[in-house]
Amino acid sequence: MRRLAILALASTILALPVSTAAQEADQPTRVYVSYYQVNYGDLLEWMDLYRQDWEPLLAEMVADGRLLGYNALIHNTGGIYNFRLAMQGTRDTNFDRVGEDVLAQWTTRNPASFQRTLEMLRGHDDELWNIDQARLTQGAEWQFMYDNSIQVPFEHWPTFTDTWNDALEDVLEQARSDGILSGWVVETHNTGGRFNWKVLLLFPTWDDISDLQGRLFEAVPLDHPLWSYLDAHKDEIWEQMPPAGGE
């Protein structure tokens, strides 16, 4: 329960920065991702409480340099969780301590809000990822994040990474140049969960997802050596939160 309460808080970027006020010289190298399963009938209320009581505390953590950024997304397709919070930092960031401090301040400032958040929560999971690559178009907006999570046997990890870069890096960079991709991030696993490698793709529109998928499967058809290194694979699509009030 202590862990659940701490993150009823404390979420490959990606999140990528929606909120960053720390020094520009500091680049995130780790991301702590928390997933929440909320009753769908309560999701709008959950998001309202996030905006009202939770997000301001995370902003304070960014302002004082304890986090480099954060990002909250809601679920679109795949998986059991429907709210995703990502906190960005470095090797020196104490994510657990940040979560504990946010919890302490939330329960002091508005205990009723925090209690209501716990009442709506039906499931929760945490993961810590290392950020290995981040290619983002400066100032580009995005609406959807496609999360490709992969399980690669560790003995094949170096070969898989080289094969992936050779086959797909140029494809993704061309898509970014063409404007159908706002950015992409490669993360490798640190703690939690079965998957140990993922690429996060940021899209301006839904149609851009289909456009890039066509390019990717042209570059790596099912007989490509890349597929031989995968033991398991999972796709999820997340999207930006709607405006306050659900409009």
Residue 247, domain member (yes or no): no
Domain shared by 195 and 93, yes or no: no
The domain tally of the chain equals: 2
Q: For the domain that residue 118 is a member of, what is the CATH number?
A: 3.30.70.100
Of 103, 130, 157, the last residue of a domain is 130
Are 82 and 191 contained in the same domain? no
Give the per-residue pLDDT at 151.
Answer: 94
Q: Are residues 36 and 96 in the same domain?
A: yes
Q: Tens digits of per-residue pLDDT, 67-84?
A: 999 999 999 898 899 999
Same structural domain for residues 115 and 148? Answer: no
Provide the mean pLDDT of the chain: 88
Least confident of 23-32, 88-97, 168-177: 23-32
Q: Which whole number is the average pLDDT over 185-206? A: 93
Does 87 lie in the same domain as 205? no
pLDDT at 44 over 70: yes
Please state, for a pLDDT cut of 90, what percent of the chain lies above it.
81
pLDDT in the model for residue 41: 92
Pair (214, 150) in one structural domain: yes
Query: What pLDDT, on the 0 to 100 scale, is given for residue 192?
Result: 80
pLDDT interval class at 246 (50, 70, 90): low
For residue 194, what are the domain limits? 133-240
- Whether residues 26 and 111 share a domain: the answer is yes
pLDDT at 191: 86
153 in any annotated domain = yes
111-150 residue pLDDT tens: 999 999 999 999 999 999 999 999 999 999 999 999 999 9
93 and 99 Cβ atoms separated by less than 8 Å: no
The predicted model scores a pTM of 0.87
| pLDDT-derived band at 53, boundaries 50, 70, 90 | very high
